[in-house]
Amino acid sequence: MNILFATSEAHPLIKTGGLADVSGSLPRAIRNAHQDIRLILPAYPAAVAGARQLKPVAEFSLPGSKAPVRLLQGWLPHTRVRLYLVDAPEYFDRPGNPYTRPQGGDWPDNAQRFALFARAVCAVAMNRTALDWQPDIVHCNDWQTGLVPALLSLETNRPATLFTIHNLAYQGLFSHDRLHSLQLPADWWSLEKLEFHHQLSFIKGGLVFADHISTVSPTYAREIRTKAFGCGLEGLLEHRKTQLSGILNGVDYQVWSPGRDTLLPHTYTATRLAGKRRDKAELQKAFGLPARPELPLLGHVGRLVDQKGIDLILELLPTLLQQHPMQLVILGTGQPELETALRAAATQYPQQLAVRIDYNEALSHLLEAGSDIFLMPSRFEPCGLNQLYSLRYGTPPVVRRTGGLADSVVDASEANLRRHTATGFVFEQADTRALLQAIERALALYRQPERWRELMRTGMQADFSWKRSAAAYIDLYAGLLDSPHQYRATA
């Protein structure tokens, strides 16, 4: 099959979160299964600098761009995945983050930027760019590509479309007048199409018009059809439930394996754990905490946003740190008020708590390796990758039973411990009491070295490689081709 995978970030070219990890590794797994999958993303400076053997292959005009748009072709590093970068310097040749300005806040022209990107994806999808290659499937990811299925619905003989939701909380909402300035069909302004509470919703382009919708875990696929998780889109998702499914993300074990991780000072495996103890000492040093090998060291890394339940950790700190001999390290960037609160807490408990407000790939690997226990008390979590990494790194995670966390961590109940299936600590309610109980269960088991080692090893040996999930995507693509465009919510 020919597949065009459209995304706004991909590791190792450009990354703000898990979408980049998935976009950098799923296409490779699908390519290894002998499918012709090609990646397309905007030509941000970092992507241009990082891509291999880049050369211009096409140039065309698109509504929304004064200058012609160029298509650069190269390879995703360390893979046989062909890469297209949409080169529109007016929109993408900018410093910093793909979505926000260096000084913070969204780029004011995000609607124009990702509308233009969507139009370029459609030009490739319809083979209008002199590439002489046409995909059978266009696989879109998150709101930044939401207009692609919508625009393709206007075409005849179009490829089938799949829209994957990595996070329903980010919807690409813009003011009504954009509909006109982006030259989108006026009849898209309706609740059945792209209107959402008097705003123009890019994500609805994917949710309404794609032939199939997927999300990144089976549990999240069910959760988003409910009010509690649907972010106002639960009605639409319920309506499309027969074309909605969940496939759990995989892990790129070439990048995330403690035995061969080039970003770690000391490597280790499930049977040779000495390197992990040394990484713990390195982590304590890097965060400026006293070197106390005997104390349990808890860790968290992630975007500092409401989704991740950082507020629960913050609220729990006094109880946790005053009642338990332990240390905690946190690495992240995000909402200013959470950054400030974490910094303040760190000054209050300098012997026990250290916080780094930073985005640092190498440090995130060291934190996964050097911690004893990983905290991930997310209020919702479409899949989550950090808990999968922490399992591999022998750092049992404490997680809430939601989304991909529920689908990947087996609670250390007495029964599961006896069955040798336990890998972490799972709690139900998003409140401090439940989180505290789960952490206390973890600390209690940590004091029983034999049982703890077994818990670590079970997690380290669990297999979340892409193989199974890539096969599930390939089945899904094939199913879409068997019944092409069975569903069309077209005009």
- Residues of this chain that interact with ligand GLC (CB under 6 A) are 17-19, 22, 166-167, 216, 249, 381-385, 404
246 binds, among ligand GLC, ligand ADP, none (CB under 5 to 8 A by kind): none
Q: Identify the residue among 361, 428, 463, 475 touching ligand ADP (CB under 6 A).
A: 361
Cα distance between residue 396 and residue 383, in whole Å: 17
In terms of CB distance, is 212 or 280 closer to ligand GLC?
212
Work out whether 75 is an interface residue with ligand ADP (CB under 6 A).
no
CB of 363 to ligand ADP, least distance (A): 7
* Binding segment toward ligand ADP, per CB under 6 A, in 54-62, 96-104, 229-237, 356-364: 356-364
Interaction partner, residue 25 (ligand ADP, ligand GLC, none; CB < 5-8 Å by kind): none
Per-residue binder mask for ligand ADP (CB under 6 A), 237-256, x = binder: --------------------
**428 phi/psi in degrees, rounded to 5:** -95, -65
Asked if 353 and 187 count as a contact pair (C-beta separation under 8 A), the reply is: no
Please say whether the beta carbons of 136 and 1 come within 8 A: yes
Q: Which does 364 bind (CB under 5 to 8 A by kind): ligand GLC, ligand ADP, none?
A: ligand ADP
Pairing of strands 160-165, 212-215: parallel
Work out which of 222, 303, 324, 401 binds ligand ADP, going by CB under 6 A: 303
Residue 58 makes CB contacts below 8 A (sequence gap 6+) with: 70, 71, 129, 130, 131
19-56 core/surface letters (b: 16 or more CB in 10 A; e: else):
bbbbbbbbbbbbbeeebebbbbbbbbebbbebbeebee
- Residues in contact with ligand ADP, counted by CB under 6 A, come to a total of 18
Q: Which is nearer to ligand GLC, 90 or 306 (CB)?
A: 306
Identify the bridge partners of residue 86 per DSSP, sorted by sequence position: 42, 71
Please give the residue whose beta carbon sits closest to ligand ADP in the complex: 18
Is 245 within 8 Å of 476 (Cβ atoms)?
A: yes
Residue nearer to ligand GLC on the CB measure, 216 or 367: 216
For ligand ADP, the closer of residues 69 and 383 by Cβ is: 383
Output the six-digit token pair for 34: 């002998």
Task: Assess whether the previous peptide bond of 12 is cis (omega < 30° from 0).
Answer: yes
267 interacts with, out of ligand ADP, ligand GLC, none, CB within 5 to 8 A per kind: none
Cα 349 to chain centroid distance, Å, stands at: 32
144 interacts with, out of ligand ADP, ligand GLC, none, CB within 5 to 8 A per kind: none
Contact of residue 331 among ligand GLC, ligand ADP, none (CB under 5-8 Å per partner type): ligand ADP
Interface with ligand ADP (CB under 6 A), residue from 50, 64, 296, 302 = 302
Q: Give the DSSP H or E segment for 327.
A: strand 327-334
Name the residue among 149, 155, 143, 153 with its Cα closest to residue 114: 143
Enter the tokens of residue 273.
Answer: 């754990």
- Bridge partners (DSSP) listed for residue 37: 3
Query: Would you tell me which residues interact with ligand ADP (CB under 6 A)?
Result: 17-19, 21, 301-303, 331-333, 359-361, 364, 383-386
